[in-house]
Amino acid sequence: MTIAVCPGSFDPITLGHLDVVRRARALFDEVVVGVARNASKTALLGVDERVRLVRSAVAGMGGVRVEPVPGLLSAFCADVGAAAVVKGLRGGADVDHEVPMALMNRHLSGVETVFVLGDPTLAHVASSLVKDVARHGGPVADLVPAGVEQAVRDALGVGPAQGGSTR
């Protein structure tokens, strides 16, 4: 049984994250989605809310479970017996961001990181942009799993989207 960890801050989960989880599940017997703290970001949503939204998004996907990561990702990977971390890449900026973390995790516990290329039609989808669009009253429902748009609007204290999707 090979286990992979798909980590992230998931603040909030997007369709891009979900695409990466599906790709990881195609490669590994079990995927543990790890909802972690990124020390360089201030989260909009609390960890319990992020875990709840990720669980709802992956409900029905066999072989996928969701857990909070209480500390170091490398220790979490050892705890769950993960053979690898799986992360998605949208472009060069992601490589620059991810490679130091992958090397640090390997330094700390020996865990390897496997990178998968995300769906190019989702290359513009990022949690930070979803929050920014929602904050300014724009529509994000077609960028995130069901229920996430409302959770983000509630956390931001903004009303319904002003414009519809452009598609």
Which residues contact ligand PNS (rule: CB under 6 A)? Answer: 7-9, 36-38, 41, 69, 72-73, 101, 104-105
C-beta of 6 vs 140, nearer to ligand PNS: 6
17 is catalytic: yes
C-beta of 8 vs 145, nearer to ligand PNS: 8
- The owner of tokens 């890449």 is 89
Cα dihedral 43, 49, 53, 54, rounded to 10, equals: 70
The dihedrals phi and psi of 63, each to the nearest 5 degrees, come to 75, 15
CB of 40 to ligand PNS, least distance (A): 7
CB of 6 to ligand PNS, least distance (A): 9
Nearest to 5 by CA among 111, 152, 124: 111
Q: For residue 118, what is the DSSP state?
A: P
C-beta of 63 vs 68, nearer to ligand PNS: 68
